[in-house]
Amino acid sequence: MNPVESEAREPGAVRPGRSVHIAGIGSYAPERVLTNQELEKMVDTTDEWIMTRSGIRERRIAAEGQSTSDLGAEAARAALADAGLGPGDVDLIIVATASPDMLFPSTACQLQHKLGARKVAAFDISAACSGFIYALEVGRQFVASGAHDTVLVVGADKLSSITDWTDRATCVLFGDAAGAVVLRHEPGRRGILSTLLGADGSQKEILNVPAGGSAMPATEQTVRDRMHCIRMSGREVFKLAVNAMLGAAREALAKSGLSLDEISCVIPHQANMRIIEAISDRLGIGMERFQVNLQQYGNTSAASIPVALDEAVKRGRIKRGDNVLLVAFGGGLTWGSAVLQW
């Protein structure tokens, strides 16, 4: 960091303004379950390899015709119901996704229409698996500043639509789902205590979807070569993921003023059990304090954190007043962490 930057306000520090809390949460996963045993018949893999390398047993796959905005709309309805609100109460819609319905219009615009929300601003955020934490922080800023009162933040991905189903190194890892939260200010509730966001654009080669954008427009050849699908150097991503998540979690915690002992529950991005265990080990927070559901869902990208958070809340694992640590990393590379008081 150069001296000029170090004198500036710390990026990600929670500025004075209204406190912002999660007033409602919901999630959705499609019905169709794809098991490791089924994958054994599709590519040269085994249940044992997938379980030992990733911890994933099964994942959900969207139905024919079900797009990312459909998944997001289901989660959004559940989050609004949980907040005791309706679509007409929403002031702003933010959708984090790496698998948008189309290049444009945004998935958030599609979701606004499907939800029957008012004609309020709606836009997407692209930060792959860190997308939900990015969107949470952007939404928080709008509520904290007083610009908006009720912000709908959705993390939704239909990774099955950009998965190369002939590539055993990636197709066993991903799944489809969506999660959503409603952000509001309520006097006396602290809510989001701190956030930390970061990115390293030099690492795009280890995790990307090469074709279909302006850098490599779609051609018959790119389609034949499956270049509209996720490409990943798993081992490289693994190493960077652990360090990025550790750094983000430590910085968010330091900014929150809380100690590790005061965190009741950690909600990590659900990519790989071994990554989560490494974080647990190096952070010094036992696995019993981690919410892990990747066995059932695989890596659902931007949906992974809100889906796991919703489960932890619905199961009574997170109660009012508990401190919760969210931490993610994803393509970009991107990373993010947030500390909340529930």
> Where on the chain is the footprint of ligand ACO (CB under 6 A)?
45, 49-50, 53-54, 98, 128-129, 168-169, 172, 207, 232, 234-235, 237-238, 241, 271-272, 275, 299, 301, 330-331
Distances from the Cα of 162 to the Cαs of 22, 170, 226, in angstroms? 31, 11, 9
Amino acid identity of 51?
A: M
CA dihedral 322, 323, 329, 333 (to 10 degrees): 140
* Nearest to ligand ACO of 234, 247 (CB atom): 234
* Nearest to ligand ACO of 123, 238 (CB atom): 238
- Strand arrangement, sheet containing 151-158: 21-28, 176-184, 151-158, 92-96, 121-125
* Nearest to ligand ACO of 45, 126 (CB atom): 45
Q: Shortest Cβ distance from residue 211 to ligand ACO (Å)?
A: 16
Using a 10 angstrom Cβ sphere, with 0-12 exposed, 13-18 middle and 19 or more buried, the burial of residue 11 is: exposed
Q: Are strands 191-199 and 151-158 parallel, antiparallel or unpaired?
A: unpaired
Backbone φ/ψ region at 41: left (φ over 0), alpha (ψ -120 to 50), beta = alpha
Tell me whether residue 299 is one of the annotated catalytic residues: yes
Q: Shortest Cβ distance from residue 200 to ligand ACO (Å)?
A: 13
Q: Shortest Cβ distance from residue 203 to ligand ACO (Å)?
A: 11
d(Cα 208, Cα 219) in Å, to the nearest integer? 18
Distances from the Cα of 1 to the Cαs of 15, 46, 126, 200, in angstroms? 21, 46, 25, 14
User: What DSSP element (H or E) covers 278?
Assistant: helix 273-283
| C-beta nearest to ligand ACO: residue | 234
User: Within the chain, what is the greatest distance between any pair of CA atoms?
Assistant: 58
Q: Shortest Cβ distance from residue 285 to ligand ACO (Å)?
A: 19
Beta strands in the chain (DSSP E): 21-28, 33-35, 58-60, 92-96, 121-125, 151-158, 176-184, 191-199, 207-208, 231-232, 265-268, 323-330, 334-341
Q: Which one of the listed residues 129, 171, 229, 265 is annotated catalytic?
A: 129
Q: Which one of the listed residues 36, 185, 269, 272 is annotated catalytic?
A: 269
* Nearest to ligand ACO of 43, 121 (CB atom): 43
* Nearest to ligand ACO of 143, 172 (CB atom): 172
d(Cα 249, Cα 268) in Å, to the nearest integer? 10
Q: Shortest Cβ distance from residue 247 to ligand ACO (Å)?
A: 16
Q: Shortest Cβ distance from residue 280 to ligand ACO (Å)?
A: 15
Q: Which one of the listed residues 36, 272, 293, 299 is annotated catalytic?
A: 299
Catalytic residue list: 129, 269, 299
